[in-house]
Amino acid sequence: MEKEEKQEVEAAAATARRRLVIGVGFWVQGFRLFPWLGVNFFLKDGMGVAASSLQILQASANLPMVAKPLLGLLSDAVPIRGHRRLPYVAIGALLQAISWLAIALWPAISLPVLTIFLLLSNFGASICEVANDAIVAEAGKQATSSSGSGQLQSFAWMFGSSAGALGNLLGGIALSYFSPRIMFLFFAILLVLQFFTTVAIPESSLKLPKAATNLSALASIRKQVKDLSCALCMPEMFWSIIWFTVSYTIIPFLLGTMFFYQTEVLRLDSSVIGLSKVFGQVALLAWSMSYNKYFKAMSARKVLSVLQFALALIMLSDVLFVQGIYRKIGIPDSIYTIVFSGLFEGLMFSKVLPFSVHIAKLCPAGCEGSVMAFVMSALALATVISGYLGVALAAFMGVSGDDFSALPVCLLIEAACTMLPLCFSSLIKERGEKEKKEE
């Protein structure tokens, strides 16, 4: 009895430490929206960057996220001092801290130098996210209940969304009183604190699965590549990832163009833009809570299809907004921007939670980090391509910083492209009941 009680206490302590690590990791990464809000205004007002250039830089900054499969393989196969997760979190936090400190303190920084440091920052963030996602996946596999993985995913999302909401709220306020460089410096200090906190926690106390010690680093990487290939060859895994990636790639997102329209044409204050992003993060937070409680038992295909359709509806609503219809019926531009633009940004990534839970259920044991990293890499590449398509669409239709007359047509095309993935939602494969019982 004493031995069992001791094991229960140790398991409870390990669970608490895992939640601490996951909470801090996702909270800091969610708070990245605080400096990135400052980056948008720093580029537009401080450096005079055009709308197309702003959106190209926003999309290109996500390119380091495409390296996540390689980082996932390294995290799974190459332990650092016998540990596979927390050392990578610490390295990622350190790289981000160096990047934001350089951006904050570099006098008269040029656009190429700024781009390099933003890429380095996102490379560090991708390392952190790979390790954090792997911790969530591995801890979810160890849960005693069948819904453990979904609960842990929702827990991580709630921390990330709440930090994102707080970051956007404080960012909108800070831009009214401080320069963006002060925001960059503040976030760099947070990253330094995360680095020392992570270093102080021994990974062995998390009770995560042990890495194989009888294989060399090269042999271990080869094994992980083989396991990842086998996992991706599973029909339900392969076709689900194809649909998820295409559902983003096919959409020419116009985020940079809408940002310029709201700030240059409508003259909305930075606090309004910040509040709209806060609303989006609050919507994501509410979604993560409601998904865990009401929707996690539903078919992933139904949930993802409904979210895709809702995103298209918001785009159609933006057409009426740009044409001034809502203004004519008494809805101020600021209110619409806060609510619907925020809801749009929230809906853009609302599919990530149910899809992550769906993939985590399908993922074979031992390659969680690699598979989740591959999925997030595919998402990053899809958003980069969709951002470039948005720039191409705006340029083709003649939309620029001085002429937004063709913006309603661009939004209609964007909405039509968003509806296309609904035509082949049958690609989202579910594991058969027979296979579930056998497992």
The better pLDDT of the pair 12, 133 is held by 133
- Judge if 44 and 74 occupy the same domain: yes
Helix/strand/coil for 83: strand
Residue 437 lies in a domain: no
- Judge if 200 and 303 occupy the same domain: no
- Judge if 139 and 248 occupy the same domain: no
Residue 384 near residue 86 (C-beta atoms within 8 A): no
Tokens of 311: 């995103």
- Judge if 114 and 245 occupy the same domain: no
Q: What is the pLDDT of residues 350-361, one digit of tens each?
A: 898 889 888 878
d(CA 171, CA 438): 51
Residue 212 lies in a domain: no
Tokens of 409: 């047509």
CA-based nearest residue to 181, from 29, 39, 28: 39
- Judge if 169 and 273 occupy the same domain: no
Which distant-in-sequence residues (6+ apart) come within 8 Å of 131 by Cβ?
A: 25, 75, 84, 85, 86, 88, 89, 92, 369
Residue 215 near residue 223 (C-beta atoms within 8 A): yes
d(CA 239, CA 303): 16
Residue 334 lies in a domain: yes
- 144 falls in which pLDDT band (50, 70, 90)? very low
- Output the pLDDT for position 63: 87
Q: With a cut of 60, say whether residue 41 has pLDDT above it.
A: yes
Q: With a cut of 90, say whether residue 417 has pLDDT above it.
A: yes
**Mean predicted lDDT score pLDDT of the chain:** 83
Count of alpha carbons within 13 angstroms of residue 199, beta-carbon side: 11
The better pLDDT of the pair 427, 82 is held by 427
The better pLDDT of the pair 7, 332 is held by 332
Query: What is the share, in percent, of the chain residues with pLDDT greater than 70?
Result: 88
| Helix (H) / strand (E) containing 309 | helix 300-322
The better pLDDT of the pair 88, 54 is held by 88
- Judge if 398 and 302 occupy the same domain: yes
Residue 439 lies in a domain: no
- Output the pLDDT for position 150: 57
Query: What is the share, in percent, of the chain residues with pLDDT greater than 90?
Result: 31
| Helix (H) / strand (E) containing 54 | helix 51-60
- 211 falls in which pLDDT band (50, 70, 90)? low
Helix/strand/coil for 62: coil
Of 144-148, 348-352, 393-397, least confident by mean pLDDT is: 144-148
Q: With a cut of 70, say whether residue 424 has pLDDT above it.
A: yes
d(CA 213, CA 211): 6
d(CA 390, CA 257): 8
d(CA 79, CA 41): 40
Domain carrying residue 142? 1-205
What is the mean predicted confidence (pLDDT) over 92-104?
95
- Judge if 156 and 228 occupy the same domain: no
- Judge if 176 and 274 occupy the same domain: no
Of 205, 228, 252, which residue constitutes the final position of a domain?
Answer: 205
Helix/strand/coil for 110: coil
Residue 434 lies in a domain: no
CA-based nearest residue to 314, from 284, 291, 347: 347
Residue 332 lies in a domain: yes
Residue 436 lies in a domain: no
- Judge if 397 and 373 occupy the same domain: yes
Of 184, 205, 226, which residue constitutes the final position of a domain?
Answer: 205
- Output the pLDDT for position 137: 74
- Judge if 170 and 267 occupy the same domain: no
Number of structural domains (the chain) is 2
Tokens of 232: 């991706």
d(CA 335, CA 269): 12
Q: With a cut of 50, say whether residue 428 has pLDDT above it.
A: yes
The better pLDDT of the pair 412, 438 is held by 412
Residue 315 lies in a domain: yes
Q: What is the pLDDT of residues 247-300, one digit of tens each?
A: 999 999 988 888 889 888 888 888 888 889 888 878 887 888 888 788 888 888
- Output the pLDDT for position 165: 82
Residue with tokens 């604190």: 193
What is the mean predicted confidence (pLDDT) over 42-58?
82
Residue with tokens 């194989």: 212
* Alpha helices (runs of H) in 68-216, residue ranges in sequence order: 68-77, 86-105, 111-141, 148-177, 180-200
Helix/strand/coil for 172: helix
Domain at 177, CATH number: 1.20.1250.20
Q: With a cut of 70, say whether residue 369 has pLDDT above it.
A: no
Q: With a cut of 60, say whether residue 434 has pLDDT above it.
A: no
Q: What is the pLDDT of residues 375-387, one digit of tens each?
A: 888 888 898 899 8
Give the chain's length. Answer: 439
Of 205, 227, 242, which residue constitutes the final position of a domain?
Answer: 205
- Judge if 336 and 292 occupy the same domain: yes
- Output the pLDDT for position 147: 47
The pTM is what? 0.77
- Judge if 262 and 188 occupy the same domain: no
- 118 falls in which pLDDT band (50, 70, 90)? very high
Which distant-in-sequence residues (6+ apart) come within 8 Å of 83 by Cβ?
A: 203, 204
